[in-house]
Amino acid sequence: MSMELSSYLKAFKQDKLKTPIYKLGKSLFFDNRLSGNNNISCSTCHSTALGTGDSLPLSQGQKNKILTRNSPSLFELGEGGFQMFFWDGRVSFSRTEPPLFKTPVKEISGYYPQASHITRALKNPLGAQVLFPMINPDEMLGYKGENPIANFEEPLIIWEKITEKILAIDFYQKQFEVLYPDEEINIGHLANAIAHYITETFRADKTPFDLDRLGIKKLDEKSQRGLNVFQQNCLSCHSLPTTTAHSFANIGIPSIETIDKGLPGGIPVDFQFKTPSLRNVALTAPYMHNGAFLTLEEVIEHYNDPVKSLKEYDISRLNKKYRSVYGRDLKWADTPETIAYKVSTFDARLTLIKMTEEEKADLLYFLKYALTDESYLDRL
Ligand code: HEC
Ligand code: HEC
């Protein structure tokens, strides 16, 4: 490593100063007590060891229930450009004056939310997203009769009870007192601390691609060729430098277990999902909103011929790998009708994609080695 590069990376590490809010957010992120049954934390499904996901096609929640979607990676989500969360964008934020939150809970939505004490505590749109796993029975809350908090139905009350539970723990009470001596603590403060921790920790902004862009270290030739292939075929949705245009598209992904139509409303078409960031993507397999593809090679093949990839989808590859985890096979849920619909409506930009074998290999190399943060390269 050149001197210049190593001092640059060192300075970056020092940036992550362990401030009180960082420590608080970190403790909460790993704490099972944030869940109703004291058995599951954010890190259960967003594990640092597993690229901030759970390495499953479909995530597993309370009682090992198989959820309907893949646990997304958390890299870069705290960056200002990320203002829509979940695969269907159902939590979003607009920087208007006053700011606008759109969420499935009306009391924290709109320009003048009724529970403004919560939204005011959120310093980052990601914080609004963080509130939702806690009230989801499948994810963290647990089911009625299992724990006192899960017996409540109103999100505001559930959040209040979780806040009380956490503040009753001496360790947390002291930290909140130091951070907010004059404020009444609510769930927004908890979510804000977790969002702060995610923002500071799960960075992927020192990739070889960035070091080249910033003039610190030139990309190797193969990555440079891969970047050209990426710019020709992928840029319209995965714009650079962020690797996402923060938009939705139907790219003809096979449905697993359920017919999940993604973005509600189906305008102009169904099966649209959020275009995710591809930073650190080599660490976050399996891929897509339902983990339909095990490897980046499979993803590239899909883009090269989406009709064939969809029609000839082979779920046995997933089942071979995950049967023992789930205790059963996952099912490919598409019908001849959904396949015909997806083929006739998927995003026209896909039809422009055509890659030779050599280009595919270069693209794979770019995704793997040029989009992985320097601090994670040893995990490849
Ligand atoms: C049981 C597994 C599970 C737990 C526990 C869990 N998550 Fe998730 N998380 C998921 C799944 C699955 C999704 C995608 C759901 C969807 O899009 O409908 C998700 C989505 C997200 C997203 C949105 C990412 C994006 O790109 O839009 C963030 C951020 C997130 N979770 C953070 C957290 C935090 C913080 C916690 C703890 C408070 C947490 N999660 C707990 C499984 C889990
Ligand atoms: C028309 C828009 C569009 C184009 C063009 C496009 N993508 Fe995507 N990409 C998406 C959307 C939308 C998703 C999420 C789809 C889903 O989960 O159903 C996605 C998901 C992915 C994923 C999975 C990421 C994850 O974390 O699961 C990878 C990898 C990827 N794209 C790579 C590429 C590459 C490489 C190209 C160029 C060959 C490309 N994309 C072109 C829209 C696009």
CATH assignment at residue 164: 1.10.760.10
- Residues 119-123, mean pLDDT to the nearest whole number: 94
Hey, which of 29, 31, 43, 46 would you mutate to test ligand 1's pocket, going by the most ligand atoms within 8 Å of its Cβ?
Answer: 46
pLDDT for res 70: 98
d(CA 26, CA 197): 6
Answer yes or no: is the C-beta of 364 below 6 A from any ligand 2 atom: no
Q: Is residue 4 part of a domain?
A: no
* 191 and 226 share one domain: no
Answer yes or no: is the C-beta of 133 below 6 A from any ligand 1 atom: yes
* 309 and 220 share one domain: yes
Q: Is residue 5 part of a domain?
A: no
pLDDT-based confidence at residue 377 (cuts at 50, 70, 90)? confident
219 phi-psi bin (left φ>0, alpha ψ -120 to 50, beta other): beta
Q: Dihedral angle at the C-alpha atoms of 349, 355, 359, 365, nearest 10 degrees? A: 50
Q: Is residue 7 part of a domain?
A: no
Is the pLDDT confidence value at 3 over 80? no
- Residues 211-225, mean pLDDT to the nearest whole number: 97
pLDDT for res 62: 85
**Ligand 2 centroid – CA 243 distance (Å):** 10
Q: Write the CB contacts of 163 (distance below 8 Å, at least 6 apart in sequence).
A: 185, 186, 187, 190
pLDDT-based confidence at residue 1 (cuts at 50, 70, 90)? very low
d(CA 19, CA 175): 11
Q: Helix/strand/coil (H, E, C) string of 248-315? A: EECCCCCCECCCCCECCCCCCCCCEEECCCCCCHHHCCCECCCCCECCHHHHHHHHHCHHHHHHCCCC
Is the pLDDT confidence value at 5 over 70? no
Q: Is residue 349 part of a domain?
A: yes
The mean of the pLDDT values for the chain is: 94
* 190 and 296 share one domain: no
* 309 and 352 share one domain: yes
* 170 and 259 share one domain: no
pLDDT for res 268: 85
Q: Write the CB contacts of 288 (distance below 8 Å, at least 6 apart in sequence).
A: 70, 253, 273, 299
Q: Is residue 270 part of a domain?
A: yes
* 58 and 179 share one domain: yes
Is the pLDDT confidence value at 94 over 80? yes
Which residue minimizes the CA distance to atom 13 of ligand 2? Answer: 275
Lowest-pLDDT range of 33-42, 160-169, 264-273, 319-328: 264-273
Which residue bears the tokens 């840029």?
A: 235
Q: How far is CA 294 from CA 56, 318, 328, 359, in A?
A: 9, 7, 18, 20
d(CA 362, CA 232): 13
Which residue among 154, 177, 201 closes a domain? 201
* 112 and 259 share one domain: no
* 177 and 243 share one domain: no
Hey, which of 278, 309, 368, 371 would you mutate to test ligand 2's pocket, going by the most ligand atoms within 8 Å of its Cβ?
Answer: 278
Convert the pLDDT of each residue in 17-64 to its tens digit.
679 999 999 999 999 999 999 999 999 999 999 999 999 999 999 889
d(CA 24, CA 28): 6
* 40 and 101 share one domain: yes
d(CA 325, CA 46): 17
Q: How far is CA 6 from CA 215, 369, 375, in A?
A: 14, 18, 11
Is the pLDDT confidence value at 350 over 60? yes
pLDDT for res 265: 81
Ligand nearest, relative to CA of residue 240:
2
**Cα angle value 66/69/70 (rounded, 5°):** 100
Q: Is residue 119 part of a domain?
A: yes
Q: Is residue 30 part of a domain?
A: yes
User: What is the number of structural domains in the chain?
Assistant: 2
Per cent of the chain over pLDDT 90 is: 90
Using alpha carbons, select from 197, 67, 181 the residue that is nearest to residue 130. 197
Where in the sequence is the domain holding 225, given as residue range(s)? 208-379
How many residues would you count in the chain? 380
Answer yes or no: is the C-beta of 299 below 6 A from any ligand 2 atom: yes
Answer yes or no: is the C-beta of 350 below 6 A from any ligand 1 atom: no
pTM exceeds 0.85, yes or no: yes
For residue 135, give the H/E element and its range: helix 125-135
Is the pLDDT confidence value at 2 over 60? no
* 79 and 186 share one domain: yes
pLDDT-based confidence at residue 85 (cuts at 50, 70, 90)? very high
Q: Determine the atom of ligand 2 nearest the C-alpha atom of 296.
A: 29
* 31 and 155 share one domain: yes
**Ligand 2 centroid – CA 332 distance (Å):** 20
Is the pLDDT confidence value at 80 over 90? no
Which residue among 201, 232, 250 closes a domain? 201
Which residue among 201, 224, 259 closes a domain? 201
* 323 and 212 share one domain: yes
User: How far is the first Cα of the chain from the last one, in angstroms, to the nearest whole number?
Assistant: 18
**Cα angle value 243/245/249 (rounded, 5°):** 110
Q: Is residue 115 part of a domain?
A: yes
